[in-house]
């Protein structure tokens, strides 16, 4: 019997879904298409749901997981987790309560990583910045880069403690002079250029390439 291909399940929110990228379908879709052109690469399942935060991803990951095995009793080999931006949003006003407190986010992420690692390899992406000048989003949610920075720092600490590879995004994206032009008019979703930037970071991430056994493939860039 032929072995099933390795599988990478990408879990998260609208960023994983690819919302805003009308050219390439999002950074996850760009990665899927790139790997499809290479021999013996993992199958990428992009499972992003708009509006999801940590609690919703934690509630659905097992059911998503159970139906992605291509052989009986086979579970996917790895998960790439990209979630947290929606948790930072403050409800109702600029100084309102966040959708999930910083402490709750750190605790919930630590528990989720522990559960996932009992089944597979796990990698985690950081959070992208927002255009604060057009807040609130949907007339009720206030996102701020200060809060996003704090949540990403907590995410990095949890990953460090759990020995999970982590790729921070927030500061490196904001360090590019063009970053505001990579965001949709709504202030939070990335456009095609923003997704292309994320894809560039992900497709050259050493930890991901090592997991995918692509470190020696010549046409995959490595950083």
SS (H, E, C) 70-113: CCCCCCCCEEEEECCHHHHCEECCCCCCECCCHHHHHHHHHHHH
Among 38, 36, 47, residue whose Cα is nearest residue 9: 47
- Is residue 124 within 8 A of residue 167, CB to CB? The reply is yes
What letters, b where the CB count within 10 A reaches 16 and e where it falls short, cover 49-74?
beebbbbebbeebeebbeeeeeeeee
pTM: 0.92
pLDDT score of 152 more than 70: yes
Mean pLDDT (the chain, rounded): 91
Name, of 2-11, 164-173, 214-223, the range with top average pLDDT. Answer: 164-173
Q: Where are the alpha helices (DSSP H) in the chain?
A: 14-17, 27-36, 54-66, 85-88, 102-117, 145-162, 170-174, 192-203, 206-212
Q: Which pLDDT belongs to residue 65?
A: 73
- 217 pLDDT band (50/70/90 cuts)? low
Q: Which pLDDT belongs to residue 223?
A: 44
CA distance 50 to 56: 11
pLDDT score of 89 more than 60: yes
- 68 pLDDT band (50/70/90 cuts)? low
Q: Does domain 8-212 sit in CATH 3.40.50.1110? A: yes
pLDDT over 90 percentage in the chain = 79
Among 122, 149, 15, residue whose Cα is nearest residue 58: 122
Domain ranges of the chain: 8-212
């Amino acid at each position: 019997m032929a072995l099933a291909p390795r599988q990478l399940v990408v879990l998260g929110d609208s960023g994983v879904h690819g919302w805003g990228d009308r050219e390439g379908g999002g950074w996850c879709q760009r990665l899927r298409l790139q790997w499809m052109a290479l021999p013996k690469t993992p199958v990428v399942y992009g499972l992003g749901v708009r509006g999801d935060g940590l609690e919703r991803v934690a509630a659905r990951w097992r059911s998503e997981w159970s139906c992605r095995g291509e052989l009986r009793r086979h579970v996917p080999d790895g998960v790439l987790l990209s979630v947290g931006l929606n948790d930072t949003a403050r409800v109702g006003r600029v100084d309102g309560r966040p959708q999930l407190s910083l402490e709750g986010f750190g605790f919930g992420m630590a528990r989720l990583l522990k559960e996932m690692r009992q089944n597979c390899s796990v990698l985690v992406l950081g959070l992208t910045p927002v255009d604060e000048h057009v807040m609130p989003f949907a007339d009720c949610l206030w996102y701020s880069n200060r809060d996003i920075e704090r949540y990403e720092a907590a995410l990095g600490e949890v990953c460090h403690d759990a020995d999970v590879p982590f790729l921070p995004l927030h500061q490196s994206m904001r360090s590019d002079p063009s970053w505001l032009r990579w965001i949709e008019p709504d202030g939070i979703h990335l456009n095609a250029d923003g997704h292309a930037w994320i894809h560039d970071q992900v497709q050259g991430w050493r930890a991901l390439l090592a997991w995918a056994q692509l470190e020696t493939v010549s046409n995959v860039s490595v950083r």
